[in-house]
Amino acid sequence: MRRDTRRTNVFTRRALLLGGIEVLALGGLAAKLYQVQVLEGTRYALLAESNRISARLLAPPRGRLLDRATTPLAGNRMNWRAVLVAEQTSDVAETLARFSALIPLSDHERARIDRELLHSRRFIPIILRDFLEWEEMAQIEVNAPDLPGVLIDVGTTRLYPFGQTLAHVVGYVAPPGEDEAEDEPMLALPGMRIGRAAMEKFHDLALRGKAGLVQVEVNAAGRVIREISREEGIPGADITLTIDSGLQQDVMQTLETESASAVVLDATNGEVLAMATTPSFDPSLFNSGVSQAQWNEWTKNRQTPLINKAVAGLYAPGSTFKMVVAMAGLSARTITPGERIFCPGYLDLGDTRFHCWSRYGHGALDLRGGLKNSCDVFFYEVARRTGIDAIAAMAKRFGLGVRPAIELPEARTGLVPTRAWREGHGHHWNPGDTVVHGIGQGFLQLTPIQLATMAARIATGRAVEPHLTRSIGATQSPGAAPGDWPALDVPAPFLHMVREGMWAVVNEPGGTAPLARLDLPGVQLAGKTGSTQVRHVSREAREHGHFNSENLPWEFRPHALFVAFAPYDAPRYALAVVVEHGNAGAQRAAPLARAIMTDVLLRDPAGHTPDGGARLAVRAGAAGEATP
């Protein structure tokens, strides 16, 4: 019994010890709970929130580009598309194989998908196929169980109703690059596009809008349980351009199969009414990536369809530069109004003889005659007397060799050389160089839009800058009123003399551009031709008289240029036409200028605005002519 008591005592002691340990252990857990729930509670509460809440961006619709009468030039359309979320399928290759069994994917598409699979994060949907047809969608839906990770969603895609007609002005959009998406999370959304050229690029931020933000509660699998808050995005702004889409279409048709470009400006305010470049391209092809074959076709084409020649094509201005030389001479008083210069058909300077285009010479000419006949010797002499720097300074006042204000990232500055520029390149400026620049050759490199700007400034005497934007959203862009533009720093009489010369070129018997004469009652066009060599003409060829540029291969023929404004007595429109390798401005460019200007005057695009606007009524004028 004693032993039994002892055993009971041992048991009691040990039971109490075991129980004590167990309760103590639970106490320890209670302390741990206090630590986690109270001392560290705030931290874990934050973690729970960030677990629960997921912020998602809502892609705003991209703004539209409208013409001056609010016709859409670039819009959006619904795009039903098949997307693949890589993380939702165990075997991406297998899913793709099954998908392409239903909807065949081209090698080009496969390459793009593989590329995106490689670069995107696994939960970002990758577009398999855009613009699904109804039957295709049905096929995908029916086979959904076999296509894990494949979903159909709706996005928008860029639509260019005018296609090739406005490709160089409107530009195009393309998927953003990886680094771009890193800076702006919105760009990582599927189907987001950013402007890659022209207006789409220049106004990209305004067109893009601001992404909305929706905060959703998600479960552990990432599925949305409910929406907590929603902040609507701001849709991209609609941007109204100065372009008249109808005129643009006509101009494109006029240029037709040429490799050419034409710019039509409202000379009073610099609005670009039409800017045409041929050949063109289909901007919508960039939407989902251009195939290598297409790209090669574009880049290997000698007529450079991707380049907006109106702002990025560089040409020697040729005789269209003579107005600038004339005004430089007048300003520098190296030639006086009415002064006559004798043209024997050439100018000798040292050992070098510079030929006039007319082998027989023009005899004695004043400034008006010099322009009318486009006499080279006259302008050789004026340039020789005036010097290159004074000519360059005058050229800059007309926007030549200056980067135009045009809102096109592709626009180039061109080159108007000066003595300092030449010496900066380690050469001497020779007197002969100056002479050549008198007829717009030599180092001069200008773009059609610069020539059109020059024509507009000559016509109105205002320092208008070419521009394409009328309004961004509801905000009017400045520059629509002529009063927005300062007067040009050139004496009005000089401008008047040059305009008279340009009138004579077209309208006086013996002028070089009779083909540019308008067939409209009461309205006259003033202009100037230009033909610029792209290859040196050897002296022997010229002297032996068997030089004929028509016989040259296409790429060695001279460019044909024409600048013009109209109506002569109340200038409203200015234009420049350049036909690459078109041989002679008078033959090839002048008729195009005439056709375009006729169209411009009959349409009166400046009146084509959403708010109406002052109309220049050619037809009314014609009627008035008939009445008297």
Partner 1 sequence: MMERRLYRGQTFGIVAKLREVSWLYVALLALLAAVGYTALYSAGGGPQPFANRHALRFVVGLVILVATALTDLRLIQRLAWPLYALGVGLLLMVARFGHVGKGAQRWIEIGGFQLQPSELMKIFLVLALASWFHRASFERIGNPLFLIPPALATALPVALILKQPNLGTAIITALVAGAVFFAAGVRWWKFALVALLVVLAAPIAYHHLHDYQRARIETFLHPESDPLGTGYNIIQSKIALGSGGLWGKGFLNGTQGRLDFLPEKQTDFIFTVLAEEFGLIGALAVLFLITLIIAGGYVIALRARQPFGRLVAIGITTNYSLYVFVNLAMVMGVIPVGGVPLPLVSHGGSALLTAMFGFGLLLSVEVHRDAAAESERETR
Residue ranges in contact with partner 1 by CB under 8 A = 3, 6-7, 10-12, 14-16, 18-19, 22-23, 25-26, 29-30, 32-34, 36-38, 40-41, 43-45, 47-49, 51-52, 217-221, 225
Measured from the CB of residue 24, what is the shortest distance to partner 1 in angstroms?
Answer: 10
Q: Which is nearer to partner 1, 12 or 299 (CB)?
A: 12
Tokens of 585: 């401005």
Q: Which is nearer to partner 1, 137 or 218 (CB)?
A: 218
Measured from the CB of residue 18, what is the shortest distance to partner 1 in angstroms?
Answer: 6
538-556 burial: b if 16+ Cβ within 10 Å, else e? eeeeeeeeeeebeebeeee
Tokens of 496: 């008047």
* DSSP of 168-199: HHH--EEPPPHHHHHH-GGGGSTT--EE-SHH
Q: Which is nearer to partner 1, 225 or 617 (CB)?
A: 225
Q: Which is nearer to partner 1, 48 or 78 (CB)?
A: 48
Dmax over CA atoms of the chain, in Å, equals 155
Residue with tokens 């520029």: 421
CA atoms 128, 134, 139, 142: torsion sign: positive
Give every CB contact of residue 429 below 8 A, 6+ residues apart in sequence.
388, 419, 422, 423
Tokens of 175: 């998927």
Q: Which is nearer to partner 1, 178 or 227 (CB)?
A: 227
Q: Which is nearer to partner 1, 37 or 106 (CB)?
A: 37
Measured from the CB of residue 85, what is the shortest distance to partner 1 in angstroms?
Answer: 18
Residue of 319, 331, 374, 471 marked catalytic: 319
Measured from the CB of residue 91, what is the shortest distance to partner 1 in angstroms?
Answer: 21
Q: What is the CA radius of gyration of the chain?
A: 36
366 vs 13: CA distance, rounded Å: 133
* DSSP of 341-382: EEE-SEEEETTEEEE-SSTT--EEE-HHHHHHHT-HHHHHHH
Strands 212-218 and 194-195 turn out to be unpaired
590 vs 595: CA distance, rounded Å: 9
289 vs 283: CA distance, rounded Å: 11
Q: Which is nearer to partner 1, 7 or 615 (CB)?
A: 7
Q: Which is nearer to partner 1, 35 or 106 (CB)?
A: 35
Measured from the CB of residue 20, what is the shortest distance to partner 1 in angstroms?
Answer: 9
Measured from the CB of residue 90, what is the shortest distance to partner 1 in angstroms?
Answer: 17
167 vs 285: CA distance, rounded Å: 11
319 is catalytic: yes
Do 262 and 274 contact (CB within 8 A), yes or no?
A: yes
Do 517 and 525 contact (CB within 8 A), yes or no?
A: yes
Tokens of 305: 């369809």
Measured from the CB of residue 131, what is the shortest distance to partner 1 in angstroms?
Answer: 37
Measured from the CB of residue 124, what is the shortest distance to partner 1 in angstroms?
Answer: 18
Residue with tokens 């577009």: 127
322 vs 328: CA distance, rounded Å: 10
Q: Which positions are annotated as active-site residues?
A: 319
